[in-house]
Amino acid sequence: MSKDIHIRRGSNLNLEGEANKILVDIPVSKTFALNPDDFFNITPKLIVKEGDSVKKGSPLFFSKHNPRIHFVSPVSGEVTAIVRGAKRKILQVVVTSDGLNEAVTHEVPNVESLDAEAIKEIILKSGSWPFIKQRPYNTVAQPEDSPKSIFISTYATAPLDVDFNFLLKNNKDDFKRGISILNKLTTGDVNITVEKSFRGFFDSIDDAKIIGVSGPHPSGNVGVQIHNIDPINYGEKVWVVNPEDVVNIGLLFSTGQFSAQRTLAVVGSSVEKPQYYKATIGAALQPYLEASAVSPEEEIRVINGDVLSGSISSEEGYVGFYNNVVSVIPEGNHFRMFGWLPFVDNHVPSISRTSFSWLFGSKKSKVTTNLNGEERALVVTGEMEKVFPMNIFPMQLIKACMVEDIERMEALGIYEVVPEDFGLIDYASTSKIEAQDIIKKGIELMIKEVG
């Protein structure tokens, strides 16, 4: 038993449209796409061209900085489009399924006999390596590193996030197999963080440290957990894996094939039937949105991920590589007369006491994408600290990133944060500061200058 942690600072946003615990299986879509932007700081080098036929598990592109890291097709079929944007940047590699589901099969010897290098080789070759991410920076892990420890957070606290106990219920054995494989990759511990009050089946896992976590969002963010359990020091690497990707790695070693399983929760106030789906990485979102009955009358925003840190997609978009949640909320492009007066328009949720919305604590609120104001100079102090449960000064770190002072960013703890930890700061900021964007640019600068 290891020591449980309790996070005090933060805030749970109680939003409309939480997913019902129903797992629905609908016919898979025809088109699939991989979006290189899902992988932070990866420059893709294409292997395929339009018209090539691929199997499930055939590489589509690899990382320019580390050619060992492959990104593979989640389905068998034909590469039908390579969508490029400004400066010929690759936006999407689209594969149209042939329905045959042929897969590249790798030979997997008995796991017990393999050492770390052999296991890494299998994961790399199969295209499953991008499932493993590293802290600092939240980039795809470097196979040459040996991490201090590996963290898996099964406690999801972001607004409308999934319930991993429900999500993993059919894959308990694969999850356990995945954990024992990850154990071989580190000399330290494999840590699984669980909801303190409901530990589920995780307590039956022997070869990992099970740590209970309680408290409001962002206590479910793996970065916040690492900071409060075993903070990252200069030069150290910690690897993190999403729970379902542990299953995918487990499945790889039982079937020898790349597994792209992605249980998807379509949530938000703009869908009538928020529920879970058996989906695949890169699948077109359209069928899932349709099955969830997206309300037709309003203009909506489709988000790959949660409403605080997800990325903008569209009804024609595809399931992202890492997210289990697709949030659908109304766009807020309308005016509110005198809406800036304190204590009026209390239907707009606020964690500030300049509104009475906290009185309706138990009522689920409907949110839009309205900025609820305009960007202003940084005036109010202390509000960031209230939703940032780390022993780091968030405003000072943001300012260091803005002036690109690398030494100061390092001293103030840039290695311990990733943009998603600043999601609530974005949300709560009086001056409408784009904290996640500033931190992201800061991290890009760190990678460029320090590596």
Residues 380-419 close enough to bind another protein by CB under 8 A:
380-383, 385, 391-393, 395-396, 411-413
Two structure tokens written together for 222: 């793996």
Two structure tokens written together for 316: 């024609």
d(CA 401, CA 394): 11
Site string for another protein, 257-296 (x = CB under 8 A): ----------------------------------------
The CA angle 324-398-219, to the nearest 5 degrees, is: 40
Please state whether beta strands 44-46 and 190-195 pair in parallel, antiparallel, or not at all (unpaired): unpaired
Number of residues located near another protein, criterion CB under 8 A: 77
Query: Cβ closer to another protein: 178 or 349?
Result: 349
Q: Of 109, 316, 373, 450, which lies in the binding site for another protein, with binding defined by CB under 8 A?
A: 373
d(CA 31, CA 368): 30
Instruction: Give me the least distance between CB of 306 and another protein, in Å please.
Output: 9
Query: Cβ closer to another protein: 278 or 408?
Result: 408
Residues between 304 and 363 that touch another protein (CB under 8 A): 307-310, 312, 327, 329, 331-342, 345, 348-355, 357
Query: CA 424: distance to chain centroid?
Result: 15
d(CA 321, CA 327): 15
Instruction: Give me the least distance between CB of 76 and another protein, in Å please.
Output: 34
Site string for another protein, 220-239 (x = CB under 8 A): -----------x-xx-x---
Instruction: Give me the least distance between CB of 374 and another protein, in Å please.
Output: 6
How many alpha carbons lie under 13 Å from residue 16 in its C-beta half-sphere? 16
Q: Is 222 helix (H, G, I), strand (E, B) or coil?
A: helix
Instruction: Give me the least distance between CB of 231 and another protein, in Å please.
Output: 7
Instruction: Name the phi and psi angles at 411, rounded to 5.
Output: -65, -35
Residues between 420 and 439 that touch another protein (CB under 8 A): 422-424, 426-432, 434-437
Query: Cβ closer to another protein: 246 or 414?
Result: 414
Are 76 and 55 in contact by the 8 Å Cβ rule? The answer is: yes
d(CA 152, CA 59): 26
Instruction: Give me the least distance between CB of 368 and another protein, in Å please.
Output: 7
Two structure tokens written together for 170: 């059919």
Instruction: Give me the least distance between CB of 157 and another protein, in Å please.
Output: 15
Instruction: Give me the least distance between CB of 419 and another protein, in Å please.
Output: 8
Residues between 172 and 231 that touch another protein (CB under 8 A): 231
Residues between 82 and 121 that touch another protein (CB under 8 A): none
Residue 157 engages another protein in binding (rule: CB under 8 A): no
Query: Cβ closer to another protein: 367 or 401?
Result: 367
Q: Is 294 helix (H, G, I), strand (E, B) or coil?
A: strand
Distances in whole angstroms, Cα of residue 269 to Cα of each of 18, 24, 167, 363: 8, 19, 21, 13
